[in-house]
Structures are given as structure tokens and as C-alpha cells.
Amino acid sequence: MDCDRTVRVLILGGTTESRALAVALGAVQGIETITSLAGRVAEPILPVGRTRIGGFGGPDALAGWLRDNAIDVVVDATHPFASTIGAHAEQATREASVALLVLTRPPWTAGEGDRWTSVASLPDAASSITPGSRVFLTTGRQGVHHFASVDHSWFLVRAIDPPTGPVPPHMTLHLNRGPFDVDHEAMMLADNRIDLLITKNSGGDMTRAKLDAARAASISVIVVDRPARTGSAPTVFDIAAAVDWLTNRLRSTL
């Protein structure tokens, strides 16, 4: 790589993977990273390197920001359910003629002993709850309003920050930030007499422990499927592959 040329990489972040990528790229000579956070968490964990917080204002504004800041590559390392920013990144990078790489977690798949029901959306999950259930809801604060009309069951809602919209009438809010191990999750399930876990298919290892604990306790799980990505950007599933893709591409273009 030509060390006289600084390559600027915008990481669309907010995930563990985005922070790990910023660390890994910080060790690559000639690469400068800027990590963008949406600002939806009150006290986000900040990555190494430069950081910006807040939205861009849509794909056209993002394209202009990429041009104004001389960005060479965008890495979409956002949450697998952050479909809006993913679509905006696809459109903006095309408009600005900037390369795009998607770094995401491999999705979870059911194994022996899992009692999963897959649904397409949070409203579908809400309508699938058997009356009288004791539900452990781990879909994040922004989706809690979809369960506000479910008055026939009790919810333990875990989130980093409190929900801002309507909430279920029978609910206990548990504010905590993971990761959590299997013993912790097993205790949460047992102490609260949970008989149904609801989660998004976020994938990866950081938040899988609740699924392992549910399997061990023979607890049913409703898994919300990921939104489908419609873009054509290359996708990798780990930090090493992202670093290889970036360094190989940059070497070929500099």
C-alpha cells in the first residue's frame, strides 16, 4: 500500500463488530477511520478513532457527506435490523461512486432441542403470543410499542434505555447492557418464570446465550427474521474477512 496516500473509511457503526473493525483498521498503516453512530443510545460505547454521532438526513445528504469528506470506502457494520441505513448506504455510495462493504453477523439457525417459531415482523410476534404467557422480550426499546396492545400476558422487557412509546400494560422493565452469559440468562428465565422468549435474529455470539438458556430450559422462542437486503454490495461475516477485503481492494486501487 502506498503509505503517502491516506485512505478514508467510514464505518457505519453502533455494533460490537464495528468497534472491533475500527481497532483492527487502526493498526493498518495508511487507513483513517471515521465511525458514525446513529445516536439512538443515550450513552453509546465509543470506538477508537474519529467518531460522528447523529443521522445524515437521507441518502442524498449521505452522498454529499461522503464527497465532502473524501471518503474512499464505506463499511456498513450496523445492526442486521438497521434496514433503513443499509438502504441509504447502498444508494449513497452508488451516487458518490464510493465502494461499499457490508459487515454483518451470521444469522442464528435452530438446532436440536430448540423450540423456535420464526415470524416476519414484530407485529407478527405480538400476535403469536399465547394468552397467559410470561414473556422475556429482548427486541430492543424501539420495538416495544408493537406489544402495547397485548394485555393478556406479562412481559419482562430488557433494553439499554427505556422505551419512549406505548408499552404493554403488564410489564417489568429491566435496563441492562450485555453481553450476558448462559448462567445469567438461565437465572433471568427461572427467576421470572419465563415461558416464552421473543428475540430478533441478530446473529453472532454476543447475544446468543439467551437462546442457549432457553433450549436448556425447553422454553419456546419466537424469532423475528431479518429484513432482506436488496443491494449488491459484497458481504463478509467477520472482522478478519473485512480487513482482508479492504486491504486487498485498496492495494489494487492505489
Q: How confident is the model at residue 251, as a pLDDT?
A: 72
Residues of the chain with pLDDT under 50: 1-2
Q: How confident is the model at residue 221, as a pLDDT?
A: 98
User: Closest by alpha carbon to 155, among 198, 113, 187?
Assistant: 198
Q: Which residues of 86-109 are buried (b: 16+ CB within 10 A; e: fewer)?
A: bbbbbebbeebebbbbbbbbeebe
Cβ neighbour number for residue 137 with a 10 Å cutoff: 29
98 in Cβ contact with 65 (< 8 Å):
no
Domains of the chain: 7-106+229-253 (3.40.50.720), 116-224 (3.40.50.2000)
DSSP string over 32-75: EEEEEE---SSSPPPPSSEEEES--SSHHHHHHHHHHTT--EEE
The C-alpha torsion from 48 through 49 and 52 to 56, rounded to 10°, is -110
- Residue 163: is the preceding peptide bond cis (ω within 30°)? no
Give the Cα separation of 85 and 254 in Å (integer): 28
201 in Cβ contact with 224 (< 8 Å):
yes
User: Closest by alpha carbon to 101, among 207, 30, 25, 200?
Assistant: 25
Element (H, E) at 18: helix 16-26
Grid cell listed for 1: 500500500
Per residue in 28-78, pLDDT (tens digit) is 888 899 999 987 766 777 888 899 998 899 999 999 999 999 999 999 999
Q: How confident is the model at residue 237, as a pLDDT?
A: 94
Q: How confident is the model at residue 253, as a pLDDT?
A: 60
Give the Cα separation of 50 and 25 in Å (integer): 12
Q: Tell me the chain's radius of gyration from C-alpha atoms.
A: 20
Grid cell listed for 116: 423456535
Q: Which amino acid is at 226?
A: R
What is the sign, positive or negative, of the torsion defined by CA atoms of 3, 6, 11, 16? positive
